Amino acid sequence: MNREGLVKTPERAAKAWQFLTSGYDQDPAQIIRSAVFEEEYDGMILVHNIEFYSLCEHHLLSFFGKAHIAYLPSGRIVGLSKLPRVVDALSRRLQVQERITKQIADVLEETLSPIGIAVQIEAAHLCMMIRGVEKQHSLTTTSAFRGVFTTDRVLLDSFFNGIRNGSTQRIDPQFQAL
């Protein structure tokens, strides 16, 4: 315990845990509300490949991956940087992937009231990779859909194409792909 590399380990570990759980001190809804703008835009807004790191509440091991968020606005948009900030605020808590996926959709629904919301998260879980089943290449995918994303297959396909290819089809106000 007196080795040079270990002497300050408790202090460093405490600081690391403070950072890794700093999301409890942030209000995701307030993050969105800080940059809402009235704008008549009728296309899908997609921010994808948002990297995140979180801690599994079951084993206190990391899980990490990418979040993809899309919404179809109803007269209000949010500053683009706020979506990754919401992901960070929610992921810097003891979490499960299913909950964080739902929470992202919930905060967008609460703050923007968009016509539709789509959230997909793909993550690798150290609790599955380095212990238990030890499957290093497995990924878990979760999703939450609200509004027109639950009924309009063209819109949903555009979301998935945007994740895969980096672009979406333009959607007109009647939600038909152009």
Predicted confidence (pLDDT) per residue in 46-57, tens digit: 999 999 999 999
Question: What tokens does 77 get?
Answer: 């948009």
pLDDT of residue 170: 52
Asked if the structure places residue 170 within a domain, the reply is no
Q: Rounded CA gap, 89 and 108, in Å? A: 14
Does the pLDDT value for residue 176 go beyond 90? no
Predicted confidence (pLDDT) per residue in 14-46, tens digit: 999 999 999 999 999 999 999 999 999 999 999
Closest-CA residue to 122 (of 71, 70, 62, 51): 51
Min mean pLDDT across 90-94, 114-118, 135-139, 162-166 is at: 162-166
Residues taking part in catalysis: 56-59, 97, 125, 127
- Mean pLDDT over each residue of the chain, to the nearest integer: 93
Asked if the structure places residue 172 within a domain, the reply is no
Give the number of domains in the chain: 1
pLDDT of residue 167: 65
Print the domain residue range for 157. Answer: 4-165
pTM of the complete model? 0.91
Asked if the structure places residue 177 within a domain, the reply is no
Asked if the structure places residue 92 within a domain, the reply is yes
Asked if the structure places residue 171 within a domain, the reply is no
Asked if the structure places residue 124 within a domain, the reply is yes
Element of type H or E holding 32? helix 28-33
pLDDT tier, 83 (very low <50, low <70, confident <90, very high otherwise): very high
Q: Tell me how many degrees the CA angle 138-94-139 measures, rounded to the nearest 5.
A: 10
pLDDT tier, 166 (very low <50, low <70, confident <90, very high otherwise): confident
Alpha helices (H) along 63-144: 82-91, 97-112, 126-129
pLDDT of residue 175: 46
Asked if the structure places residue 81 within a domain, the reply is yes
Alpha-carbon radius of gyration of the chain: 19
Which CATH number does the domain housing residue 67 bear? 3.30.1130.10
Cα-Cα-Cα-Cα torsion 92, 98, 104, 108, nearest 10 degrees, comes to: -160
